[in-house]
Chain A
Amino acid sequence: MSEEFEYLKQLVKERLAAMPPNVSFSIGDYGDFSRDELIKEVEKETEVGKAMIDMQVHFIRQMPKILSKV
Chain B
Amino acid sequence: MIVIRMNHDLQTGDLYAFTVPVIKLAEQKGYTVTILENEEVSETNLRKRIRTRRPSFIFFNGHGSAEALYDAHLKEFINLKSADVFKDTITFTRACDALSKLGREAVKKYGCIAFIGYKKKFFIARANNTTCKPLQDPIIQPILESSNVVANELLKGKTVEEAVFASRKASADQILKLIYSKEPLAVASLQALMYNDMSLDFEGEAESKLR
Q: What residues of chain A have their CB less than 8 Å away from a CB belonging to chain B?
A: 19-20, 22-32, 34, 51, 54-56, 58-59, 62, 66-67, 70
Closest to B176 in A: A70
CB distance from B63 to the nearest CB of A (A): 4
> If the complex has contacts A26-B123, A28-B122, are A58 and B195 also in contact, measured as CB distance less than 8 A?
yes
Interface of B is mostly: mixed
Inter-subunit contact B194/A23 (CB<8 Å): no
Given A29-B74, A55-B191, A55-B192, do A22 and B185 touch, yes or no (CB 8 Å)?
A: yes
From known contacts A26-B14, A31-B9, A32-B11, infer whether A20 and B184 are also in contact, taking CB-CB under 8 Å: yes
Q: Which of B111-147 contact A (CB under 8 A)?
A: 120-129, 139
Chain B residues in contact with chain A, CB under 8 A? 9-11, 14, 63-65, 70, 74, 95-97, 120-129, 139, 175-176, 179, 184-185, 187-188, 190-192, 194-195, 198
A contact residues around B194 at 8 Å (CB): 58-59, 62, 66
